[in-house]
Structure 1
Amino acid sequence: MEWSADVSAGDWLRDRLDDPWAGTIHDVVPRGFEAYARVLHPASVQSRASGDPLPPFDEWFAMGWERSQRLTADLVTDPATWADTAAAFGTTLHPLAQWDSIVRSPEFGSNQMTSPDGRWFAAPGTGELDPHLLAALAGELMRHTSTPDDVTAGLWEGRGGLIGHTGRRPSRAFFQIGDPDDATLARHNRMLGSSFADRFNSVFRKPSWQEGILSREISEGPRLRLPERPFILFRGALEEFADDDWELRMPWRDLPAEAEGAAPMSQSPSLLWPADRAWAMVSEVDFDSTIVGGSRELVAAICRIPDVEALPLPDDARLYWGADEVNR
């Protein structure tokens, strides 16, 4: 993929979005396609290897430290589908299902809930696809466009650390987790403690360029501005996303985080579409699912991909919290 300053390539999207937002998927997903698929982002579930049930979170938090740690010493974490989750909570999976309703959460945004059989279910991530899911989707999407070698990927500029800026503070900070008794770590922390800048002694210091993942040229370059969302565009071949390790080859690979010890990672595209506009894929930052608009054949094919949990979505669907009228 290569950066593209020609943001006019995305003007057609703006013409097919609701502006102002109206509360349907068409706030962020273009209208005009025959059908839509909702690709559900995977959740996770924790259980005890012994098979004994875990307590509700409020009870676990109320325990003393030693007791709570003993209880979770044999904790096992596994991926969980939405169908698995609905079965565990006795709810119904359907195209408009909302996670909080599936897990019977009494409030919006509950990250973890305890199932009746004593397992901890954690909510799916929002705003991006797991690498292997994007690879699986790309393999199918290639068969439903006449221009697989000319696709545009859009990255929402609001991801932390993605773009640089002119200022006095860095684009982001890295947090440290480690043993405070470790001598090497303690020496490193003493060095950091003595190197903090004192802004009161440099009140006339001019703002300087603070680096992000992307170069200064890209950071200061043009944006595709859709309702409420600005995007940075890249162009290339869809095949570049077809392998599970596509993250390693993206120009927005997070090398600064890797330098701090993080695993290799590239943000998955917020937008993806081919030059022939046969389909469009949208991973909206606030959605726990990715929406693909295209032909009926494409949507049916996506819903059949192994290891991808997807459902056909009606036009004008609403995916906000409280829209699940089945699981009330």
Structure 2
Amino acid sequence: MEWTADVTAGDWLRDRLDDSEDWGRGMHGVVPRGFAAYARVFHPATRDRPVGAEWPPQPYSDHRAWDAFQRAHPDLDVIDERVDWATVAAALGKTMHPLAQWGSLVGIDRWADRENDPRDAEGWRYHDPEEGGMPADVLSTLAGILAAHTTTPDDGYIALWEGVGGLVGHLGTSPSRTFFQIGDASPELDHHNAMLGRSMPDPFNNVFRTATWQDGILSREISEGPRLELPGRGHVLFRGGVSELGDPDWVLSVPWRDRVAEAHGFPPSAQTPSIVWPADRTWVSVTEVDYDSTIVGGGRELIAALVADPRLEAWEIPADADLTFEADEVNR
């Protein structure tokens, strides 16, 4: 898998997307038209609950209740697990369906201040699925199915949205992200965090500071290279086969592996590709940054295979499906 400056390889996507004026009104602002069928692969949510205790009463902003809870249970065990949307719907008395929206499913207003994650009668507390990404093993499973439904599993394209913090470098007076270290107090730790603090923008005291190149995960050549420009989004483009993403350890081999974070003690990770398609264009997989699910367009056999696979939570959806936050008519 390698970076390509030939972003014309993605021109066919632009030709099948709705105009920018319609962007956000339906899924075809980001998902190409023209496929026989479409599937929605739901990103898993998570839930947790304490063992041998109950969460303090809501709201979480009642710090006294939480302080007392932590003092009473200093070594509390908490079960933390991945959960599919159907399980969440059943626990909260809602209905799972292809066009379900998380906010309607769990009874939250996306635009309101979030002090409380929803809980069910058994004490499980539910946390939002990831937007714009999915766990590495879920992507590996999806990629394996996609690879079986193309004549070019080893040749295709992977596009990454350029806006993920730290992916590309830039000219500026501060890095695109910083890593504050947490631990026991020490002169070394204090010095490190003070240095990071000084690296943050300070327009009042550093008015004439000269902009310099700030490294990202990707090299300067790639960072300053051409983008695949689609309505509302710019993408860095790589040439490679979906079969490479089917490897359970794909994170370790992709060019955008986040080695910067690893150097600060984080486990290996890599951004979920935003768009993947094979050279024969038999399907396309779109993980839009504002979606908590991935949309796949392709042949009917592929869509049936995705829906039938028990390792994924996937439902067939119609073309022109409305996936906006208020679109869940069933659980409204």
Same fold (TM over 0.5): yes
Q: Does 1:133 align with 2:135?
A: no
Instruction: Quote the Cα distance in structure 2 between the aligned partners of 1:196 and 1:321.
Output: 34
| C-alpha distance 56-320 of structure 1, shift in aligned 2 (>3 A) | farther
Aligned with residue 268 of structure 2, among 246, 264, 278: 264
Alpha-carbon shift at residue 125 of structure 1 (Å) = 0.5
How far apart are 1:189 and its partner, in Å? 4.4
Question: What percentage of aligned pairs have identical amino acids?
Answer: 53
Superposed CA offset, 1:1-51 (max 9, x none): 10010000000000110112251110100000011110000001111222x
Higher mean Cα deviation, 203-212 or 275-284?
Answer: 203-212
1:104 aligned partner: 107
Map 1:229-308; keep pairs closer than 5 Å: 229-308=233-312
Q: Does 1:54 align with 2:46?
A: no
For 2:206 and 2:27, locate their aligned partners in 1 and report how far apart those are by CA, in whole Å.
49
Query: Structure 1 residues 195, 43: CA separation in 2 closer, same or farther (over 3 Å shift)?
Result: closer
Whichever residue aligns with residue 40 of structure 2, its letter is R
In the other structure, the counterpart of 2:64 is: 63
CA distance in 1, matches of 2:197, 2:148: 55
**Structure 2 counterpart SS, 1:100:** helix
Q: Are 1:160 and 2:161 counterparts?
A: no
One-letter amino acid of the counterpart of residue 112, structure 1: D
Counterpart residue type for residue 289 of structure 2: V
Tell me whether 1:88 sits opposite 2:95 in the alignment. no
For 2:124 and 2:228, locate their aligned partners in 1 and report how far apart those are by CA, in whole Å. Answer: 43
- The separation in 2 between residues aligned to 1:194 and 1:295, in whole angstroms, is 54
Asked if residue 151 in structure 1 is aligned to residue 152 in structure 2, the reply is no
Q: What is the Cα deviation at residue 89 of structure 1?
A: 0.2
TM-score (norm 2): 0.91
Task: Give yes or no for contact 1:135–1:241 (8 Å, CA) kept in 2.
Answer: yes
Amino acid of the structure 2 residue aligned with 1:113: P
Query: SS of the counterpart of 1:144?
Result: coil
Could you tell me which of 216, 223, 226 is aligned with 1:219? Answer: 223
CA RMSD of aligned residues (A): 2.4
Residue matched to 1:17: 17
Unaligned runs of 5+ in 2: none
Q: How far did residue 322 of structure 1 move?
A: 1.1
- SS of residue paired to 1:113: coil
Q: Give 1:139 deviation, angstroms.
A: 1.0
Distance, in Å, in 2 between the alignment partners of 1:156 and 1:189 is 30
**What residue is the counterpart of 1:30 in the other structure?**
32
- Size of the aligned set, in residue pairs, is 326
Give the letter for the 1:75 counterpart.
V
TM superposition shift of 1:106: 4.4
Rounded Cα–Cα distance in structure 2 between residues aligned with 1:191 and 1:206: 18
Structure 2 contact 181–189 (Cα < 8 Å) conserved: no
Equivalent residue, structure 1, for 2:316: 312
* 1:158-192 CA-partner distances (Å, limit 9, x unpaired): 0001111111111211133323x456534644676
Amino acid paired to 2:4: S
Q: Quick one: distance in 2 between partners of 1:98 and 1:194?
A: 42
Q: Partner residue of 1:5?
A: 5
SS at match of 1:136: helix
Q: Which amino acid aligns with 1:280?
A: V
Do 1:56 and 1:118's aligned partners in 2 also have CA atoms closer than 8 Å?
Answer: no
Quote how far apart the aligned CAs of 1:67 are. 1.5
TM-score (normalizing by structure 1): 0.92
Task: Report the AA paired with residue 259 of structure 1.
Answer: A
Unpaired runs of 5+ in structure 1? none
Q: 1: CA distance between counterparts of 2:192 and 2:104?
A: 46
Deviation at 1:149, TM superposition (A): 1.5
Change (3 A) 1:188 1:233: closer
Higher mean displacement: 136-145 or 184-193: 184-193
